Copies of this chain bind each other. A is one copy, B any other.
């Protein structure tokens, strides 16, 4: 009765005891090596990116260097974040490598891995579609942080909301606006970022006076008031350049619009604007210039 012979068929032993264990070993070794390589690669790319050298190759970023000087501690904070992002990427890569190696080992041991691959494929597609916005948010967040577009305390405009940054996350940015409302904005939805607190700001005042007013006198008064503020001890370090009167900006339906500008320290533009408006109002009342 050879039919009931349950002993191992010929040649199986060599396969079971030599070929398969060896194959598994090699797979494990390669996986370890690849992980080491990938880790080093990610670390280097992220480090470079956090030092601004990747985009720097293509942009003559003198302004960027200046920026670094003006925000103390920004550099360290940036590198810290870059390291955290690098760790996250390494974790993801490790997970991927372990999974692939495990599947290859399964295959080496003689299992049909088609169901696993199909399952993974469906997962990939589902992830691709459903989590599209999630991935988009994360990628946008990673680049915002690496490019240091804004930091905690900056006053920014993200289009959907604006205010003072409270937290820069990978998926969302948290801000608080002037009314105390806390805004959570998904990073991937941000098309453009306006940062009002980098290096310097400028107070641009468009003052409308009636058509009857003497334009030369108006300009003289504006220049005097701006200069007085610039000389004022209180605004030392706040207004950082001699103010300028640029002239007639526009003929509006209400009157003639004259522009006066003052370069200020960041986040001081609104303070200076209010001080100027008060002075202008008082002076115009004195000299009888009418605002329509």
Contact = CB atoms under 8 A, between A and B. Distances in A.
A189 interface: yes
A181 B157 contact: yes
A65 to B, nearest CB: 11
A184 to B, nearest CB: 4
Interface in A64-92: 64, 77, 81, 84-85
Task: Name A's interface SS.
Answer: mixed
A228 interface: no
Contact of A58 (B85, B125, B189): B85
Contacts of A84: 57-58
Interface in A1-16: 2-11, 13-14
A235 interface: no
Contact of A248 (B158, B191, B256, B277): B277
B9 A5 contact: no
B145 A58 contact: yes
Q: Copy number of this protein in the oligomer?
A: 7
A123 B96 CA distance: 10
Contact of A291 (B126, B216, B251): B251
Given A60-B152, A181-B196, A191 B160 contact: yes
Interface residues of A, number: 139
A209 to B, nearest CB: 10
Contact of A130 (B2, B23, B132, B170): B132
Interface string A210-235: 01000110000000000000000000
A121 to B, nearest CB: 6
Contact of A183 (B110, B115, B193): B193
B6 A13 contact: yes
A192 B184 contact: yes
A26 B112 CA distance: 13
B186 A191 contact: yes
Contact of A23 (B13, B111, B120): B111
B253 A254 contact: yes
A281 interface: yes
A124 interface: yes
Contacts of A169: 55, 58-59, 147
Contact of A274 (B145, B152, B208, B249): B249
